[in-house]
Structure 1
Amino acid sequence: MTNKKFSSLYEVYKLSIEIAGEYKIGFKRSLLLFFISFVTLGLAFAMFFPLLKAIFSSQPDINEIIYWFSFMALFSAISIITKWFGHDFDYSGYIVEITNDLRVKLGKKLRNMPLHTLSKYKTGELNSILSANVDESILHMGVISALFMQITVVPSVVVLFTFFIDYRLALIMLVILPFAIPLYIIKRKVSIEEKKDFNDANSNLESQLIEYIQGLPVLRSVNQVGKNAKQLDLAVKKVRTIQEDGAGKSTLPLLIMGSLVEIILLVLVFLGGIWVEQGSLALITLAALLVVVSRLTEPLTLFLGVIPVFDTMDSAFNRIKTVLDIKSLKTYEPKQEAKSFDIEFENVFYSYDKDETYSLKNINFKIKQNSLTAIVGHSGCGKTTITKMLMRYDDVSKGSVKIGDVNIKHMTQKELMKDISVVFQDVYLFDDTVLNNIKMAKPKATKDEIIKACKLANCHDFIQNLPNSYETNIGDLGGNLSGGEKQRISIARAILKDAPIVILDEPTASLDTKSELAVQKAIDSLVKNRTVIVIAHRLSTITHADNILVMNEGEIIQQGKHEQIIVSSDLYKNMWEAQTRTKVWNS
């Protein structure tokens, strides 16, 4: 397990105020009302001493009995009323609002954080933070806060009042503290470690489960389902091990605490009986104390059981804060918009891990507006990283990226992406209708505009043949469509967006010949009169490019037209000849 320091109760309180956000005044009011409620409840219990003494005195006085009973009733009434209004915080739906606000904040952060940072999170990990961790972070508010204050404030008031009755009895009750404090510390240490490890293991389990479900067809084909799905099996066992370990370590302090409370009660009976026999303590005083203590036995036993809820909140909210504290990419002043759409990379260096190992090294090139530039090279050479820098997935480590002489750092993310359309090799479609998947590029587009874009993308005909035409739900990840159909819908989306810059990331690399021809025809419609960057897999498709960038190990080693670089670049020449031989073999 990890060695993590647990937060003090004051730190838990400050964290709770931070979680409550704009509702913190209501939360503080709720805590104050609970405090008043349980102070008065403790005082109501304390009234047993004088009340029973008045009832069982040798000459009972009805006025005195009514007097002390009235105080007990008054304190009880105040306790009930303040507790009722204290619970107004959760009964009135404020906790629901806090939960919603947390998820909204996380949603905004996910929209604005650098996509490079976002890509480091597994899907299941983010799902765990947005769902389980948000719920866990507010779990202690309301009922749990009331329960915690009840099992700490009420006994404290009773012990304090007992000092005025008989200091010996009060000291016996305080004997539990030297034993309870170490148990509290042990319990907190075990709890915070278990919660932290459990959250990490559970988010990994969610990630593995999502991956398992999405990859089930592949797993079945290689007979890796059930116990043979090793990663998922390991994730399940990890969660079970942490839970078993945590349960084993946390049970002993709970048992000891429960036993201590019972032992204190027995000691009170034993010593109290001796003092009654000796005449130094009134029997009725001992009886009153035993009635009160017996009422407090169960809450005190629950004390260590309630504490882990705060550790659950602490661990959960720290995971949320990790996301909320991620810095968004800064838009520098003065904010600008691109007026023209030529592109320039000037002395660009970039490292994914912010160290001296650069994925891009000294990248320099210019792309004229309405021209076509291809980027070629072996896998991992930095082709896609260049396009990511243009879309500002992250900031370059050195140098600058400009669109129309405007450094993209001076453009808001919304303004930048308004100017760029992207067609990826791996198309992502949402579990929605065909119409809505295309329309998201231009929410206010008319049906006629969408149909026009689909005709240009060579996908209108097959959409018409779907069960509900444009209103057909395409399933999770577009699972009801073929690869070529999904790609053409993606191109229709890009055409509808009508951005002046188009990035094509090997859109035909994984398609069969028939689908490739249909997609290529759609691409021809998309790239007309636009500034185009294409990451090329098949060199035969980019021989007409205005400029070809040849990359190797993060550097541009040659650039120019096809006719120039096939002579000057050995790498490009070897790639061209290898693909040419492949064509001959396949013919």
Structure 2
Amino acid sequence: MIKESFKFFFSKFIRKHIPTLILIFVLSIFTLLFSFISPLLIRSLVDNVFVGRVQGLFIYIILAIIGMYIVSSISSYFNSYVTGKLSLVLLKEVSESIFNVVQFASLKSSQTIKVGDMITRIMGNTQIAINIPVRIIPSLFMSVVSIVVPFAIMLTLNYKLAIIVMSPVVLFALSSAIFGKRMEKIQKAFLTVNASIYSFLKENLSIIPLVKVFNLESWSQNRFNHQINDYYGISLNYTKISSLNSSLSSLILGVPIVLLITFGGYMVIGGTISLGTFTAFLSYTSIFFSPISQLSSIWTSYKSSLPAFDRLKEIYDMEPENNIDDVIAIKKGIITFENVWFSYDNRTILKGFNATFIHGLNYIVGDNGTGKSTILKLICSLYSADKGNIKIDGQDINEIKRNSLIKNVSMIFSDPYLFDGTIYENIRIGNLDATKEEIISVSKLVNVHDFIESTTDKYDTEVGENGLMLSSGEKQKIALARAILKNSPIILLDEVTKSIDKDSRDSINNVIMNLMTEKTVIIVTHNSNEININSNIIHLDEDGELDGSVKPIVSPLPDVVT
């Protein structure tokens, strides 16, 4: 039975390339043309030229052999080129499609797969999946052709000897069935372990400073050793089964040769068949059983590659973001939560949460794990509420097109998320249509312009992977600059000052104070000293509920929502 994941992959990506696959099949047949015809030419050479002394045929046979070589070589070239090009085209199409699905999947859904695992699926598993329709199936087809054609020719030469020589085929079929199933099971486990190693390496290489500060080199090495031991064990098991399958195939391949020499030899001695026919049988037997041996290997490769389709299909099954077409119109920027419930990873974060965030300055305070950051992610639709409503100026965000919502909301994370590029590029992503003058203007506004100008390459300074060339304060100022460049009416800040120096913290807070008159600003913070006493303060208790019994952290202001 064909896997559903394979049907999905074939329908989405392979169907439109069927003409190219047919061309590959045709070129493959021409590539095999020489191997099919040459034994007959050799038979004629032995019986008619060497034995029968018909010397006039000699030159024609030589020319025919040369012609077959040329046709076969040209076909082989185009076959390799077309196959290679199709593999690259499919790799491009599939990887782009999968990356697009990941980009537009809901954050809650995409975070169920580790980053390292996702990388192996997008590239490694994609290449494995592509290999089946582009290389394995054509090879399977050509192996069948290489079996059927020689067998048909041998039947015409001497059907009794053909049946005797072909009898070991059942042994190959039995071997393929047994080993194919075992290889599929082992490969599924291998792909999981392989993805786990990628996830470990990505995580560990990103926390090397932490490892060094806490003297965790040995601990980290032990964790890697455990991962690589699992990889080694499963890979060794795969190698063992694969080697055993290959060894048995080689052993079985010797059986028809022994049968041919035994029975065919007696027929030549007895005059039942000619020496040329016997020579042709030797060639066709090799041609026949070589693809049978390959067929066994191809089948196990096919079975062991199938889990890749399941892993790719899991990405396409991720929950997408909403595709509503309505746009949002923001006038005051008042955000209301009405009986909002949200859970993540089987843990309830918010329980019947009700609150209003006003135009101006708002704070969310509470202990770790009470859902402060979750509230911000719900507002910008990174997460979707399990039930309840979130409204902006009375408009339910679940009924708003996500692109429209995001244009009106900016979020600055505690980790500023800088990509490996220049300072200019990292600010510009706030508004890709912004001019350099506008980028310089917002940089001055957040007090990062002087620092940028002090660097060797100024705005073209490379920040490094995740901004490693910059200090925490500089990274957060750049993140704030791109948020201001976006110029959205709602700005969300998640613990943006918790790990930066005092000067950077004061600078960022001054910018926030200037924004509060024009925008709805919501700040998650642990630092009570930063809270403006004239702001709207939302206090969460440990159950993720609005705690009306707890006084605001600074003072019991009249505009505190309870």
TM-score (norm 2): 0.88
Aligned to 2:230: 238
* Alignment partner, residue 349 of structure 2: 359
- TM-fit CA distance, 1:531: 1.0
Partner of 1:29: 23
Shift of 1:64: 8.4
Write the distance in 2 (CA, Å) between the matches of 1:473 and 1:457.
19
SS in 2 for 1:558: coil
Aligned mates of 1:11, 1:506 — CA distance in 2: 42
- Tell me the residue number matched to 2:164: 172
1:89 aligns with 2:82: yes
Give the Cα–Cα distance (whole angstroms) in 2 for the partners of residues 12 and 349 of structure 1.
38
How many residues align structurally? 557
Q: Greater relative contact order (Cα 8 A, min sep 6): structure 1 or 2?
A: 2
Q: 1:268 aligns with which of 260, 268, 291?
A: 260
58-67 vs 507-516, which moves further: 58-67
Within a 5 Å distance, the mapping from 1:457-536 to structure 2 comes to 457-536=446-525
Indicate the residue corresponding to 1:336 in structure 2.
327
User: Alignment partner of 1:349: what SS?
Assistant: strand
The structure-2 alpha-carbon separation of the partners of 1:563 and 1:16, relative to structure 1 and needing over 3 Å to count, comes to closer
The answer to whether the 8 A contact 1:344-1:403 is kept is yes
Of residues 177, 194, 200, the one that matches 2:186 is 194
Q: C-alpha separation between the residues in 2 aligned to 1:556 and 1:562?
A: 11
Cα separation, partners in 2 of 1:169 and 1:439, compared to 1, 3 Å: same
Q: Secondary structure at the match of 2:496?
A: coil
Distance in 2, matches of 1:326 and 1:35, equals: 42
CA contact (8 A) 1:491 1:526 kept: no
Given the alignment of the two structures, is residue 155 of structure 1 paired with residue 147 of structure 2, yes or no? yes
Deviation of 1:460 after TM superposition, in Å, equals: 1.8
Which amino acid counterpart does residue 104 of structure 2 have in structure 1?
A: N
Q: Deviations over 1:476-524 (max 9, x none)?
A: 2111221112111111111111110011111122234343223322332
Encode CA deviations 1:30-88: one digit per residue, 9 max, x unaligned: 234435654x5564256358635751697566788899999988877776665555445
Percent of residue pairs identical: 25
SS in 2 for 1:358: strand
List alignment gaps of at least 5 residues for structure 1: 1-5, 573-587
Alignment of 1:62-461 (within 5 A): 85-90=78-83, 93-140=85-132, 147-225=139-217, 228-295=220-287, 298-311=290-303, 313-332=305-324, 335-340=326-331, 341-353=333-345, 357-368=347-358, 370-461=359-450
RMSD: 3.4
Q: Shift of residue 292 of structure 1?
A: 2.7
Deviation at 1:364? 2.0
Question: Given residue 338 of structure 1, which amino acid in structure 2 is its aligned partner?
Answer: A
Aligned-partner Cα distance in 2 for 1:280–1:403: 94
Give the Cα separation in 1 of the matches to 2:548 and 2:472.
33
Distance 1:234 1:552, change over 3 A: same
- Does the CA-based 8 Å contact 2:49-2:57 persist in structure 1? no
Query: Per the alignment, in what secondary structure is the counterpart of residue 427 of structure 1?
Result: coil
Give deviations 1:521-543, integer Å, cap 9, x for gaps: 23323444111222121233333
Q: Is the 8 A contact 1:375 1:534 kept in 2?
A: yes
Partner Cα separation in structure 2 for residue 125 and residue 563 of structure 1: 42
Letter in 2 for 1:425: S
Report SS of the residue matched to 2:498: coil
Offset, 1:221: 2.6
Deviation larger for 302-311 or 410-419: 302-311
How far, CA to CA, are the matches of 1:518 and 1:564 in structure 2?
A: 21
CA–CA separation in structure 1 for the residues paired with 2:214 and 2:45: 79
Q: What residue identity is the alignment partner of 2:37?
A: A
Specify the alignment match of 1:585 in structure 2: none
Q: Deviations over 1:132-179 (max 9, x none)?
A: 223333335656555444433212211122222222222223322221
Measured after TM superposition, the shift of residue 270 of structure 1 is 0.8
Note the C-alpha offset of 1:420.
0.7
Cα distance, 1:560–1:377 mapped onto 2, change above 3 Å? closer
Gaps of 5+ in 2: none
1:557 is paired with a residue whose SS is coil
What is the distance in 1 between the residues matched to 2:457 and 2:70? 65
CA–CA distance in 1 between the matches of 2:432 and 2:181? Answer: 52
The 1-side partners of 2:223 and 2:448 are apart by: 39
The Cα shift of 1:308 comes to 4.4
1:584 alignment partner in structure 2: none
* Alignment CA distance shift 1:29-1:402 (3 Å): farther
Q: What is residue 541 of structure 1 aligned with on the other side?
A: 530
Letter in 2 for 1:285: T
Aligned partner of residue 281 in structure 2, secondary structure: helix
226-235 or 501-510: bigger deviation = 226-235
Shift of 1:408: 1.6
In the aligned structure 2, how far is the partner of 1:172 from the partner of 1:56? 29
Q: 1:29 to 1:403 in 2, by over 3 A?
A: farther
Question: Of 536, 552, 568, which aligns to 2:542?
Answer: 552
Deviation digits for residues 324-347 of structure 1, max 9, x if unmatched? Answer: 332312223x52222332212222
